Amino acid sequence: MHIVVIGAGVVGVTTAWSLHKRGHQVTVIERLEGAGLETSKGNAGQRSYGVVSPWASAAMARKALTYLMDRDGPLKMRMPPSLDTLRFLVSTLRFAYAPGVFGLNRRAMLRLGIHSRESFLALEDELNLVFDGDHAGLMHLASSPHMMTEYVDTAEVLDELGIENQLLSPQEVREYEPGMRGNGPLHGGLRYATDGTGDCHLFSRSLAEACEKAGIEFRYNTRVNRLVADHRRVHGVELEGSNGMHERLEADAVVLSAGFASPLLAKEVGLHLPIYPVKGYSLTAPLLDAEKAPRSTIHDDNFKVVSTRLGDRLRATGFVELSGFDRQIPETRLQTIRKSVNSRFPGAADLSAATTWTGFRPMTPDGPPIIGRGTRENLFLNTGHGTFGWTLSAGSAELIAQVIDGETPALSLDAFRPGRFAE
């Protein structure tokens, strides 16, 4: 089959590879000039298979107000909120308080995380991809005794699913991360022993290059304006090049992996995808002293900032902001991120030389991604990965390829079904 994949973020590129491996002819359409340049560009770099959890949770809803009131708090919202923001929040609250839904979605996402780890290992074994990647574990710090008790509950779910983890004393935390010499409060931590790291942009670029060598066509600087469809099938896509070119490209099947832009194309074929662009920020700084830097990836619960080692760089990332689509980077956000780094890893990196970035998580109101068949028999969706698209990409790609080939997917896709928002 000739399959068109829309979007060359990490989800689109991994999808293209999975389809190619199954013998399909694949064309990837990307409106930007290369792979992994939108949300996949500057994320926190965690492949956090054991951490994945739905955005819609009653616990999070209870903390939301406190987070909003705190200047350094992780949750921000533009006031007054827009109608789109309000709609998204109402839908999130509905999922958060629907009995049993959080637990089911959490387990479904964790199973997808486990599957994705296996898929990444196979991919990395097969291709020599250069992306500062590792699987050296991930750590969540506890800056209060209360947080340690939350981690005890988390560890129970991880044990249930066979995900290797360790509850650590402050001394054990420092043994795993000897560079952590700052004075931030520390009451222990939870280590996800088999989780990993990696630069998602470098990975997307490196995999796209491998795809091109293998015969997959990438058409950059080309936007899909419209799906060409009748009531039963999609026949192709209407393209527009940055040079003014217009073309209709025929396809036997289409996969929509356009991140936060997916709803626009889906709408035309009667598919409601309530994906909201949840903003976040990162800074990436060259290391000054590798001995003082994280070895892997650390989640500082004090500021809700993640610091990740990516080769000879440190990436620090934070904030969940509901302000619609706005690429500004306020200095106050960067200040909070720098505060976290300095309280844990002082002197590790040259923060004054950091590059800064903002990106938009393609978030569904409940949290799980959208994986499955759309409103036409040959339209498929692999999108809406929210906070965990880098982590879940390799596994999601295999699952959608199985669906396209008419196989029973390796995991139940119930939590990821595209039609769940209309129910």
Ligand X SMILES: Cc1cc2nc3c(=O)[nH]c(=O)nc-3n(C[C@H](O)[C@H](O)[C@H](O)COP(=O)(O)OP(=O)(O)OC[C@H]3O[C@@H](n4cnc5c(N)ncnc54)[C@H](O)[C@@H]3O)c2cc1C
Residue ranges that bind ligand X, judged by CB under 6 A: 6-12, 29-32, 37-40, 43-46, 48, 200, 223-224, 257-259, 261, 265, 280, 282, 317, 359-362, 383, 385-391
Q: Which residue from 296, 304, 207, 245 is spatially nearest to 5, judged by alpha carbons?
A: 207
Question: Could you give the angle at the alpha carbon of 10 between the alpha carbons of 322 and 54, nearest 5°?
Answer: 45
Minimum gap (Å) between residue 116 Cβ and ligand X: 9
Minimum gap (Å) between residue 371 Cβ and ligand X: 11
Q: Which is nearer to ligand X, 100 or 202 (CB)?
A: 202
Minimum gap (Å) between residue 360 Cβ and ligand X: 6
Q: Which is nearer to ligand X, 52 or 158 (CB)?
A: 52
Using the structure block, give the residue that is written with the tokens 């990821």: 416
User: Cβ distance 419 to 366 under 8 Å?
Assistant: no
- How many C-beta atoms lie closer than 10 Å to residue 360's C-beta? 22
Minimum gap (Å) between residue 294 Cβ and ligand X: 13
CA distance 167 to 144: 14
Reported residue count of the chain is 423
CA distance 51 to 170: 20
| Long-range CB contacts (within 8 A, 24+) of 122-128 | 123/14, 123/17, 123/207, 123/394, 127/206, 127/207, 127/210
Q: Which is nearer to ligand X, 41 or 376 (CB)?
A: 41
User: Cβ distance 375 to 271 under 8 Å?
Assistant: yes
Kindly list the distances between the CA atom of residue 298 and the CA atoms of 177, 260, 420, in Å, as whole numbers in the listed order.
9, 27, 34
User: Cβ distance 353 to 297 under 8 Å?
Assistant: no
Q: Which is nearer to ligand X, 155 or 298 (CB)?
A: 298
* 281: Cβ contacts below 8 Å, ≥ 6 apart: 317, 318, 319, 329, 333, 334, 337, 356, 357, 358
Minimum gap (Å) between residue 308 Cβ and ligand X: 7
Q: Which is nearer to ligand X, 119 or 317 (CB)?
A: 317
CA distance 413 to 423: 16
Q: Which is nearer to ligand X, 55 or 345 (CB)?
A: 55
Minimum gap (Å) between residue 396 Cβ and ligand X: 9
- How many C-beta atoms lie closer than 10 Å to residue 264's C-beta? 14
Minimum gap (Å) between residue 280 Cβ and ligand X: 2
Minimum gap (Å) between residue 278 Cβ and ligand X: 7
Q: Which is nearer to ligand X, 30 or 134 (CB)?
A: 30
Minimum gap (Å) between residue 16 Cβ and ligand X: 11
* 290: Cβ contacts below 8 Å, ≥ 6 apart: 179, 312
Q: Which is nearer to ligand X, 361 or 376 (CB)?
A: 361
Q: Which is nearer to ligand X, 174 or 235 (CB)?
A: 235
